Amino acid sequence: MARVNIPTFKLNNGREIPALGYGTWLGMDESESSDKSPDKPFEFGFSTAGIPKMVEALSYAIDVGYRHIDTAHLYRVEPEVGQVINKKIQEGVVKREELFVTTKVWHHFHREADVEVSVRGSLRRLNLDYIDLVLMHWPMSISQEGVDEKIDYLETWRGFESVLSKGLVRSIGVSNFNLEQMDRLLKNCKVPPVTNQIEINLNLGQKELVDFCQANKVLITAYSPFGTMVPSRSAPNSPEPKLNNPTMVAIAKKYGKTVTQVTLRYLYQRGIVSIPKTVTNSRVVENASIFDFNLDDDDVQTLAKFDNGFRTVRPIFWQDYENYPFDKVPEKLEIPESLRIWKNGFNSDID
């Protein structure tokens, strides 16, 4: 079996986080809506079909040397992630203290006291005694009914500081915070976030935000590190580069690597953690085989030119809510019910 050796970055609290992790987000499916009105022909929902493959790939990832696992309450897979982790610990493949497990608090739990409710729910579903890192998934606070609760994320952060002080988590951070929100949080917290997990890829470099966070010792973690490069995330009129982009192919050939490996290496050289997702064992190894080469300055500059601000993840159904972190667009969409109310696990039967 192939083995991978993944280095670590140091967090601002002295703990270490592996520079590449296994992402467990399985995405959403578009299906014909039960509501037959002309303005709502389709709805988005979560499919459990990919969970068995994810379980198999995560198990393989731990076997080959992955130690960083990224999940979330929203993803519905905390029970299965916990089962894999505990199985690998029981088998002697890994010790609990060797793993770095991240999960996230969803919109519904933004009141200070509710953060602990969310974290304890994740601990129960994961069947763990502590979580290495818990993130505020988004800065907005939205009820299960889709009501904007307008809870200040500074109040929510006090809940994060509380679960940290109680030993339920080892580190606390945020996700999808823009520069202004990060600045305000850093000026009004007792414990600074260790990371801001945001979309970062070749099309969306977010240099100003990255520079600000790094200057303030907040590590950046990149989700969707391939953007629309891979076919599964391709969108109409999405920009280059794609997997067959001649410039990318030439750079990859130069180093004897794949286009996706070049992409992940570029982010690593920017001091950014990546959490790519895959349910294919060969890609599990491929994604982590990026620490044995170095992109030269010319190639780094060439790759930087792909940055045009294009967002792969743009949840416009939240854009009228207070604390929405991105620029707004003219389109309007209702919040999918599956982003408001759900059960967890393969059988969707776990609270």
State the binding site for substrate: 137
Q: Which of 22, 60, 75, 153 is catalytic?
A: 75
Q: Which two tokens stand for residue 149?
A: 């609760």
Q: Give me the helix-helix angle, 153-165 and 112-126, nearest 10°.
A: 50
Nearest residue to 313 (alpha-carbon basis) of 251, 250, 223: 223
Q: How far apart, in whole angstroms, are the C-alpha atoms of residue 130 and residue 123?
A: 7
- Residue list for the binding site: 137
Q: How far apart, in whole angstroms, are the C-alpha atoms of residue 297 and residue 285?
A: 26
Q: Which alpha helices (DSSP H) does 127-215 contain, by range?
A: 153-165, 179-187, 207-215
Is-contact 80 62, C-beta < 8 A?
no
75 is catalytic: yes
Q: How far apart, in whole angstroms, are the C-alpha atoms of residue 82 and residue 65?
A: 17
User: Which amino acid makes up residue 102?
Assistant: T
Distances (CA, A) of 300 to 103, 200, 269, 275: 32, 15, 9, 20
Question: Any idea which residues carry the catalytic annotation?
Answer: 75
